[in-house]
Homo-oligomer: A and B are copies of this chain.
Amino acid sequence: MFVLPLRDIQENMEIFYAKDIAGGTLKLDEEESRHCVRVLRHRTGDEISVTDGNGTLFRCRITADSAKETEAEILDAIHDWGGHPYCLEMAVCPTKNADRLEWFAEKACETGIDSIVPVIGEHSERTAVKPQRIEKILLSAAKQSLKGKIPMLKETMPVKAYIESMKDDDGCMKLIACCFEDESHPRISIMEALKKMQPDSGRISVLIGPEGDFSAEEAALAVRCGFIPVHLGPSRLRTETAALTAVFAVYSRFLL
C-alpha cells in the first residue's frame, strides 16, 4: 500500500478524474474538460494528472484540448496513489438533515475511507439519501485531498439486511457503535477494539445508528452476527459526528 508522504504533496496540485481510459490514452468528460480548459486554461502539450477513481494516478500530456472532451496520452501511472493501509466501510443511518450526512461524506473521504453504505434502522426518521449529491461530494473531496481512490457509495439497505450480509465475513473487524449496552454484551471503547486487530488484516466495518439509536433487536442481531459493541467515549455526539469519530479512530490507529 502506497501512502503519500506529506512532504511530497505539491500544495497546489490539481487532479482530474476520467472514466474513459483505453490503450494509453484517456478522455475527460465535459465537466472535467471544462474545468481543465476553461478554468485552468490547460492547452495541448501541457502535462496533467488524472485519476481513474480506483487508486491509480496517471501523468498525462494533453493531445487535444477542448472544453467538451479533452484527450491526453498517458506517460506513466502510480498505483495505490494516496491510499491508506486499511479498508474501512462506514454503514451509517442517514441524518434527519441531509446536509449532515453529506458533510460526513466529505470529511470521511478527506481522512480516508473506502465505502459508505446508507442503512435504515427501525428508529430511523429519514429513509432516503440523495446518491448523486453524495457521489459528487465524494469525487470533489477525493480530488481536493489527493486520493486516487474515490470512496464508493453503496446501495441503501435496512440495518438488519446489512448485518446479515456481513455475517460470514470473518476476515473483517465488525463494530457496532451503540449508545446503550446490555449486561451480557458490555461495550468496549472503539480504540480498544481496534488495538486488538491483527496487524496484517485491515478490513473494518463500523455501523452507526440513527438519532434514536439502534433498536434492541438490531443490536442483538449484530452481536449474534459477530459485531463487537463499541462506545465512542462519554460525549453525546450527533450521528454524523459519531460516524466521523469512528473514521478518525481508525485513521489514528493506523496512521497517527
List the interface of chain A (C-beta within 8 A of B). Answer: 3-7, 9, 11, 84, 103, 107, 110-112, 144-147, 179-181, 189-192, 212-213, 231-238, 241, 244-245, 248-249, 251-252, 255-256
Contact = CB atoms under 8 A, between A and B. Distances in A.
Contact of A256 (B212, B213, B232): B232
A151 to B, nearest CB: 13
B189 A235 contact: no
Contacts of A181: 7
Contact of A238 (B4, B110, B180): B110
Contacts of A249: 248, 252, 256
B234 A6 contact: yes
Contact of A110 (B6, B103, B241): B241
Given A103-B103, A256-B249, A235 B111 contact: yes
Nearest to A189: B256
Given A5-B234, A6-B236, A145-B237, A256 B110 contact: no
B4 A110 contact: no
Nearest to A103: B103
B7 A236 contact: no
Contacts of A112: 235
Nearest to A251: B233
Given A5-B234, A145-B236, A237-B145, A191 B256 contact: yes
B6 A145 contact: no
Given A252-B249, A256-B190, A237 B111 contact: yes
A237 B111 CA distance: 7
B251 A235 contact: yes
B6 A231 contact: yes
Nearest to A12: B212
A218 B252 CA distance: 27
Nearest to A232: B256
A110 B7 contact: no
8 nearest A-B pairs in the assembled complex, by CB-CB distance? A233-B255, A191-B256, A248-B248, A189-B256, A145-B236, A3-B234, A146-B236, A233-B256
B235 A191 contact: no
A110 B251 contact: no
A145 B4 contact: no
